[in-house]
Amino acid sequence: MQIHTFIRPLFKQSLQCIKTATHRFIGLACALSLLLFSCSDIPLLDIELDNEIESPAISVGSTFTIRADGTEQTITSSGATIRQVLDSSDIEVGLTDEVSPPLFEPAVPDSVITIVRISEEIESIERSVPFDRRSVRNETMSADEPPVIIQQGQNGLEELTVTIVYRDGIEVDRRITRVILVNEPVEEIMMIGVDVVAQEQDFQFQGKLAFINGSGAQLFNGSNSTVQNLNLGGVPDRRVFSLSPDGDWLLYTIGADPDAAATDSETPPFNQLWLLPTRNGARNSTLISENVLWAGWNPARRERPEIAFSTGVPTTVSPGWEANNDLWLAELDEGEVISDTLSQIVQPYPAVFGWWGGDYAWSPDGSQIGYSFANEIGTIPAERPSSPENLIRRQSLHTFVEYDTRSDWVWIPPLSWSPDGTLLAFSRHSGDEAAAGNFETWMLHVPLSQAGDENALKLKANSGIWSYPFWATEIGTQGDNRAFAWLKATNSQNTLSSSYALWLADEDGSNGRQIFPAEGLSGSFPRERGAVTWSGLEPHRLAFVYDDDLLVYDLQTETVQKMTDSDGRISHPTWAPYGAGR
């Protein structure tokens, strides 16, 4: 039997394999192997490959509508996903383009595919930087003489890199991505008469007025004719400095010894909380041993004083602590904590930039404590839980976008209660961008907010990062209205480095006016909480720090009295008595 008699059927079978796309390679390999096996014995085959191999069937596919570049076209494709459908068309899709439905979704027949072209453009523009104004007092000039400009102000120049985003050629977003200061602004310096804030040797007032002076502290008792040096027993760290509601005690914190070194087992405390009687010759005493971030008096308690405080954990990295975000209550007797009243009341929980901690403020009736974090305002009931396991949770009343300082410090909104405890004034960061330097003054109606309606009202725009609104401590400061003061930036475009002026307004934000310094002038107010304090017995008077000196402003006479003439750094004025029973 000749070989070709059985090779021929095998060869034809191989050709059948060639007809299918999945077996073509195998079929060709088999056919060639057979030919090589006995090519001399196989007669010429009368087989035409073109006739034997049939073309595969072509899938017709589905219809899709594509909208892109202002046009609309219909295509037919057998793609299984949106990406495959577009790949089969002549339309290119950029990496930043938006495709709807998304590229990874299955392709649904007869669907519409929309392509939005996204592009960005970088643009450099120049912007003027307004200059600041500063006043310098001259003892040879009187208040009646007009100010004298001793240095002309000059605007600066900065170069902005702006990223412009387009959607199908239409601008939809413009972001500042880089700022380079080309020329620094030159401040305008004006010379004014010193008797604008003339110091009286015997200025009389009611109550006690204490303040930090450099590395120590002093107190005026009804007059500035004599000053009492307070023996703090150390250098105040300016975190806590407050007179009790009756004025008999001073609550303050002393910074840790800078020479103290960390041991192998623990990091030394960053401060201590102390208590000092304000009578002459009194000795201070340690109240809370260490690591206090905030502490304040219950303004409604005199017979049996009460404080609240929050703590942290010392660390070896900046800023030197990590907040516990806790809150404790303690009652005092003769300068000591009554042990069985020491109680943690709030349950700590995470917060934005919570490592820095928050700020707190007692309500006038002592029933609750307002709190603030980097993006949140709320209240905490000032009551001890039934057991350590039943700690209270904070009640958030108002939220906003936090301010990103891009540094190792955190900006926390300052808080101040109205005298009747219904309104909470605060500064807050505004806008949707965490790096934006926009700050506003707001008012929150606390009872209505606790009922489920936020009732927050923006009073002042562009008030500034260091504005610190502060309520008068008495109803009726001006007629039946309740007044509050705040510091307003003179340069609303850059409130971080701007100078500030002292403003006053009614509770609804109306009747706002600058009360110090005079219009067109500006000075240096502290960029820290506690720059302004109201008198509890004379609500028409408020004290504040200006150019590192303590001043008292009288709303009735519209006069300013200079209380100190010190080379030290004056800060944190506190005025007592105040609160219930004054």
Name the one residue in this structure whose structure tokens are 């595919």: 113
> Residue 547 and residue 545: Cα distance in Å, rounded?
7
Per CATH, the number for 62-116 is 3.10.20
Structure confidence at residue 582 as a pLDDT band (50, 70, 90): low
Cβ count within 10 A of residue 250: 25
Which residues are bridge partners to 66 per DSSP? 73, 113
Largest CA distance in the chain: 140
Overall pTM > 0.75 = no
- CB of 390 within 8 A of CB of 413? no
List the single range of 279-293, 443-457, 477-491 with lowest mean pLDDT. Answer: 477-491
pLDDT value, residue 145: 75
Nearest to 529 by CA among 307, 274, 239: 239
Structure confidence at residue 194 as a pLDDT band (50, 70, 90): low
- Over the Cα atoms of the chain, what is R_g? 38
pLDDT value, residue 181: 86
Q: Is 537 exposed, middle or buried (0-12, 13-18, 19+ CB in 10 A)?
A: middle
pLDDT in tens, 146-179: 778 888 888 889 898 989 999 999 988 888 888 8
- Residues ≥6 apart with Cβ < 8 Å to 203: 223, 224, 225, 552, 561, 563
Calculate the alpha carbon distances from 45 to 8, 26, 27 in Å: 8, 20, 17
* pLDDT above 70 for 16: no
> Residue 381 and residue 327: Cα distance in Å, rounded?
11
- CB of 581 within 8 A of CB of 572? no
List the single range of 250-264, 284-298, 512-526, 531-545 with lowest mean pLDDT. Answer: 250-264
Helix, strand, coil % (nearest 5) of the chain? Answer: 10, 45, 50
pLDDT value, residue 478: 45
> Residue 92 and residue 396: Cα distance in Å, rounded?
50
- CB of 398 within 8 A of CB of 430? no
pLDDT value, residue 354: 93
In this structure, whether the domain defined by 119-191 belongs to CATH 2.20.230.10 is answered with: yes
Q: Residue 269 is which amino acid?
A: P
pLDDT in tens, 90-139: 888 998 899 999 999 999 999 999 999 999 999 998 988 877 777 666 65
Which residues are bridge partners to 163 per DSSP? 122, 175
Mean pLDDT of 425-448: 90
What is the average pLDDT score of the chain?
82
pLDDT value, residue 267: 83
- CB of 135 within 8 A of CB of 192? yes
> Residue 573 and residue 218: Cα distance in Å, rounded?
10
* pLDDT above 60 for 513: yes
Calculate the alpha carbon distances from 563 to 135, 137, 223 in Å: 19, 15, 9
Domain ranges of the chain: 4-52, 62-116, 119-191
Structure tokens belonging to residue 158: 């900065």
Structure tokens belonging to residue 523: 């000075």
Q: Residue 29 is which amino acid?
A: A
